[in-house]
Amino acid sequence: MSIASRFLADLYKLPKRKCGIVRTRGIRVPMYDGVTLVTEHFAPKLPGRHPTILMREPYGLSGFATIGEVYAERGYQVVLQACRGTDKSEGVFDPFGHEREDGLATIDWIKAQPWFDGRLGTSGPSYLGYAQWAICDALPKKSAMAIKVTSAEFESIVFPGGGLAVGLWLSWIQTVEGIKGNPIRTAQRMFTGGIERTTLSATMKLPLRDADKRVTGRVVPFWRQWMKEAIGNDAFWHKLDHTHRIGARTPPTSFTSGWYDFMLDQLLRDYSVMVDAGQEPHLTIGPWTHVSPDLQMESVRQTLEWMDAKLLGDTSNLRQPPVRLWVSGENQWREFDRYPPIEPESQIWQLHPDKILSQRPVRASPPDTYTYDPRDPTPAIGGAMFAFKGAGPVDQATLESRSDLLVYTSEPLFNAVTILGQVRIALYARSSLPNTDFFVRLSDVDENGVSTNVCDGFLRKTSGDPAVPDDIWKLSFRMHAAAHTFQRNHRLRVVVASGAHPRYARNTGTDEPLGEATTLVAADIEVFHDPAHPSAIHLPVVELDRA
């Protein structure tokens, strides 16, 4: 047992270790095209044969080595592999592009090892989860998967709502490139907000195609390729989409995510596909962001519980209800047999004049207005975004005080209101420009007037969209999934804006290509709330048993 594995086991309250391990470094596993990937094997010092857990990742082997050690100490063979072009693996790193073929080659290698007993588990968050989906239909008959904060496809992650998640990808580039070049300095920048500051600075300059050099000091090939080939090109992403591999034959799978993870909706989609195929996956959603330490702790614990149950037949630590959800506002865990657990009632709250949010019918009134200027973009304050600092639930005072957005607030609630599922928006709006973004956020305002974000949604309107009567658009889109109780005497609040920078790339207001645009044009926005144009938010309201 190393100091690191003992510390992690104590911190995560893991089951007692069963054995020591033998760690073999520097293994070169050949891919089908002759490229070799650096791999490590952690073997338990236990008699007999044992299941294997595979983790394939692009973040450097040292970052996941302690987790590999922890799993091996509890009776698993562990294979940890650096993806092509990362760490000391050969080849060029092309995100998502090689995980299918390289994953299949790695499975073939594992099957040929004398210690492999036919049982294979896969595990890991984010990119590691995508690497699992890429091979989910090729795993041995006796397999299991532990999927965490990820998606089986990434087009909708790169281009949410038709925009570009520029903050995510520039921050991720810094992380991947930094770990490869200077891991200690990169870790320091994660903890101090340095990555977010660099991303913000880089995205305030144009064109975006050069942002890779601004954050790393050099050209990043995949970023340039995306700017040139991937924008608005479904064919580019089709070959990287593995959603069609999910179904009745997918190995037993547990899903872990957070209500403030930017990939939660896609993870819920993949979960639903398995349920519709007749499977009973486990699902856990906590009060976490993509990089929350508590999510990582839960993920490691659940990997062991799931693999013990599905590969070893030991269900003693596996909870019975397959779905466990954290409900914010009441701040407690709830367990259910499925997700969504209850068919919600759609409760409609309409935007009114004088910045009021109400369930009353709207009356004739002129629209509210604001101006979005991409030279001073509306900032991203909290929410389901990739950030080491600043993601999640955050006091919204800084955002709501700005003049480039609209704020609508309800009266204090007489009874508590619980939402569970997807909030939907029906927004009637008009812009002075055909290219305009719309960002809508739902927040909870407590008795002291503190506004905290619950969920939000984003949509990009372009000049290629069809014309509408009177040039007034009816925009219907979903917010991020949520489970939240607005307590009695709290207020609901809805913010309507046209950006959340740098979470989403600025809408420049022109038809220039996204990566090439250099011209910035301000947009004058009108938001309507009259009987012919009743802008409203639709809440999925449920009644939960009170403890």
Question: Mind listing the pLDDT tens digit for each residue in 275-326?
Answer: 999 999 999 999 999 999 999 999 999 999 999 999 999 999 999 999 999 9
- Residue 239 and residue 60: Cα distance in Å, rounded? 26
Look up the pTM and report it.
0.96
DSSP 3-state of 69: helix
Q: What is the mean pLDDT of residues 398-418?
A: 98
The answer to whether the beta carbons of residues 322 and 281 sit under 8 Å apart is: yes
With bands split at pLDDT 50, 70 and 90, how would you rate the model's confidence at 268? very high
Domain residues of the chain, as ranges? Answer: 3-164+231-334, 165-230, 345-541
Residue bearing the bigger pLDDT, 1 or 89: 89
For the 3-164+231-334 domain, the top CATH level (class) is alpha beta
The residue count of the chain comes to 547
Do the two domains 3-164+231-334 and 345-541 of this chain adopt the same fold? Answer: no
What pLDDT, on the 0 to 100 scale, is given for residue 140?
Answer: 97
What pLDDT, on the 0 to 100 scale, is given for residue 432?
Answer: 94
What pLDDT, on the 0 to 100 scale, is given for residue 547?
Answer: 57
- Residue 526 and residue 498: Cα distance in Å, rounded? 11
Q: What is the mean pLDDT of residues 428-445?
A: 96
Q: Say which DSSP state 229 is in.
A: I
With bands split at pLDDT 50, 70 and 90, how would you rate the model's confidence at 509? very high
Query: In Å, what is the CA distance from 242 to each residue of 17, 152, 157, 246, 265?
Result: 36, 5, 14, 8, 16
pLDDT tens column, 62-115? 989 999 999 999 999 999 999 999 999 999 999 999 999 999 999 999 999 999
Q: What is the mean pLDDT of residues 404-428?
A: 98
DSSP 3-state of 360: coil
**Portion of the chain with pLDDT greater than 90, in percent:** 93
- Residue 280 and residue 298: Cα distance in Å, rounded? 20
Q: What is the mean pLDDT of residues 491-504?
A: 98
For the 345-541 domain, the top CATH level (class) is mainly beta
The answer to whether the beta carbons of residues 535 and 350 sit under 8 Å apart is: yes
Query: In Å, what is the CA distance from 536 to each residue of 49, 368, 416, 421, 483?
Result: 60, 14, 20, 17, 19
What pLDDT, on the 0 to 100 scale, is given for residue 179?
Answer: 87
What pLDDT, on the 0 to 100 scale, is given for residue 469?
Answer: 66
Could you tell me the two tokens for 457?
A: 């949604």
Q: What is the mean pLDDT of residues 375-403?
A: 97
Closest CA to 384 of 303, 479, 462: 479
pLDDT tens column, 12-33? 999 999 999 999 999 999 999 9
Q: What is the chain's mean pLDDT, rounded?
A: 96
The answer to whether the beta carbons of residues 252 and 282 sit under 8 Å apart is: no
Residue bearing the bigger pLDDT, 161 or 467: 161
Estimate to the nearest angstrom the gap between the alpha carbon of 259 and the chain centroid. Answer: 9
What pLDDT, on the 0 to 100 scale, is given for residue 463?
Answer: 77
**Portion of the chain with pLDDT greater than 70, in percent:** 99
What pLDDT, on the 0 to 100 scale, is given for residue 449?
Answer: 98
pLDDT tens column, 111-156? 999 999 999 999 999 999 999 999 999 999 999 999 999 999 999 9
- Residue 380 and residue 391: Cα distance in Å, rounded? 9
Q: What is the mean pLDDT of residues 339-348?
A: 94
With bands split at pLDDT 50, 70 and 90, how would you rate the model's confidence at 2? confident
Q: Is the pLDDT of residue 376 over 80?
A: yes
Q: Is the pLDDT of residue 49 over 80?
A: yes
Q: What is the mean pLDDT of residues 179-206?
A: 92
